[in-house]
Chain A
Amino acid sequence: MATKCLTKNNTNFSAGVPVFSDMKDSQTRASTWHETILATLKANDVKLIVYVPDRVFTPLIKALHADPFFTTFAAAREEEALGIITGAWMGGLRGAVLMQTSGFATIPNTLASLVVPCQIPALIFVSERGTLGEFNLGQALVCKTVRPVLNSLAVENITITRQDELAFTVDRSIKQAVATQAPVTFILSPLLTGGKVFEG
């Protein structure tokens, strides 16, 4: 797995990606994690993307902005982003939020008092900082709160480490979120994305 992460820019991880009946073949042939996520969001008609940026998400955010299928913009705060996609869902539009682990730590009240009790299938993508080579102690600590918070709220959370499982995992989990009217959190491990490394 570690080897894969180091070669994440190689293009041949898609060989094992299953083809879904409602995803075009070209979409499942996506070769990088961010291309796969974009294609999977599109295949599931998730059109609204609200984010608070993260370095790791940069290529995904750029690609989402460049694709007119999506309405993509930044919010000032993660709670706000979650509120926006909650309103959008109630108005008939599927949305997802992107944030990093430290941003996740700002949203438990929104999950507990809005998203979970109102049964909103919010799609939450968290770029995992704080592990596998973190250089910032604060990130390392806040990372440890993510899964316990989600587990205590019984919110589905899936850590994704492998490109060959990414499309299947995200596609099926979006469908489950919508069908069961429940939020889902995708924690994108540095094993998948390469993470952020200290450059100083």
Chain B
Amino acid sequence: MTHTKSSGATRAHNAKVMNRFELTKRLVGQLKAGEAVIGGIGNANFDLWASGQRPQNFYMLGSMGLAIPIAFGVAIAQPRRHVIALEGDGSLLMQLGCLATVAERAPKNLTIVIWDNGIYQITGSQPTAAPAADLVAIARGAGIANSAWAADEADFDRLVTSALKGEGPSLIAVRIDDKPAVATTDRDPVQIRERFMRGLEVKSASA
């Protein structure tokens, strides 16, 4: 992937380019306490779906940019449950203000993971509005001090372990390749929402 004529912008970090599905599996593998995961629109939730359909997963089929606000809302409602938002870089660019809102409220049980490939992959892999933007610097500037690029897979694992301790909010940004998701979420919003609410024990499984 090349970014041309974008005012000579270069990436502000040397993070390894990794694979979203592989890292989604590594993330889910660390979840042992019923953590909620919100998968953002497109490949973020497709790969979450492909990683195994935990009842505590919510798959966002529209409303681009709202994975973090939705996760934040869950985190407010259930302060004892850790909540993770998986969001693409293009989606985050659409709703940057939410980082400042999260920083201001500072929910300890919220972790944000940004998959950054610099492209709108699902619409034809066009470069995003700002493929070279340093999203970690933006998050820190918004007030989420605990924000970092994952240098490689082992560093990602370490950052996730640290984030799950509940001293958030924290943000982990990951450079990823341009490979599409390995599966596609069943597009049934009511079933997704209903299963999620049962997974969060808001509704009983027998209801």
Q: How far is the CB of B136 from chain A (nearest CB, A)?
A: 19
Q: How far is the CB of A83 from chain B (nearest CB, A)?
A: 3
B196:A79 contact, CB within 8 angstroms:
no
Q: Report whether over half of chain B's contact residues are helix, strand or loop; otherwise say mixed.
A: helix
B63:A48 contact, CB within 8 angstroms:
no
* Interface membership of B193, Cβ < 8 A: yes
Q: Which of A82, A90, A110, A120 contacts B74 (CB 8 A)?
A: A90
* Interface membership of A113, Cβ < 8 A: yes
Query: Quick one: given A92-B77, A118-B190, A120-B193, are A113 and B98 in contact (CB under 8 Å)?
Result: no
CA distance A93 to B69 in the complex (A): 15
Query: Quick one: given A77-B95, A114-B66, are A83 and B61 in contact (CB under 8 Å)?
Result: no
Complex interface bits, A74-100 against B, C-beta within 8 A gives 1, otherwise 0: 111101111111111111110100000
* Interface membership of A73, Cβ < 8 A: yes
Complex interface bits, B105-130 against A, C-beta within 8 A gives 1, otherwise 0: 10000000000000000000000000
Q: Which of A73, A79, A110, A113 contacts B61 (CB 8 A)?
A: A113
CA distance A82 to B192 in the complex (A): 18
In this complex, what residue of A is CB-closest to B202?
A: A92
CA distance A71 to B104 in the complex (A): 13
Q: Which of B62, B68, B196 contacts A109 (CB 8 A)?
A: B62
For chain A, which range describes its interface: under 10, 10 to 19, 20 to 34, or 35 or more residues? 20 to 34
Q: Which of A76, A80, A93, A119 contacts B193 (CB 8 A)?
A: A119
* Interface membership of A178, Cβ < 8 A: no
* Interface membership of B65, Cβ < 8 A: yes
* Interface membership of A112, Cβ < 8 A: yes
In this complex, what residue of B is CB-closest to A85?
A: B73
Query: Quick one: given A48-B76, A80-B95, A120-B193, are A114 and B202 in contact (CB under 8 Å)?
Result: no
Query: Among A77, A82, A119, which residue has the most Cβ atoms of chain B within 10 A?
Result: A77
Query: Quick one: given A77-B95, A113-B63, A117-B62, are A87 and B193 in contact (CB under 8 Å)?
Result: no
* Interface membership of B161, Cβ < 8 A: no
Q: Which of B73, B196, B197 contacts A83 (CB 8 A)?
A: B73
Query: Quick one: given A80-B101, A91-B76, A118-B189, are A86 and B70 in contact (CB under 8 Å)?
Result: yes
A87:B63 contact, CB within 8 angstroms:
no
Query: Among B58, B61, B77, B196, which residue has the most Cβ atoms of chain A within 10 A?
Result: B77
B63:A109 contact, CB within 8 angstroms:
yes
* Interface membership of B34, Cβ < 8 A: no
* Interface membership of B30, Cβ < 8 A: no
In this complex, what residue of B is CB-closest to A87?
A: B73
* Interface membership of B141, Cβ < 8 A: no
Contacts of A71 in B (CB 8 A): 76
Query: Among A75, A81, A84, which residue has the most Cβ atoms of chain B within 10 A?
Result: A84
Q: How far is the CB of B103 from chain A (nearest CB, A)?
A: 11
Q: A79-B63, A91-B81, A117-B190 are in contact. List 15 more A-B contacts (CB 8 A).
A: A73-B104, A80-B69, A82-B69, A83-B70, A83-B73, A86-B73, A87-B76, A90-B58, A90-B70, A90-B77, A92-B77, A109-B62, A114-B60, A118-B189, A119-B190
A-B contact pairs, 15 of them (CB 8 A): A73-B105, A76-B100, A77-B97, A77-B98, A84-B73, A87-B38, A87-B71, A87-B74, A90-B73, A90-B196, A114-B66, A117-B61, A117-B62, A118-B192, A119-B193
Q: Which 4 A-B pairs have the closest CB atoms?
A: A113-B62, A87-B73, A76-B97, A91-B77
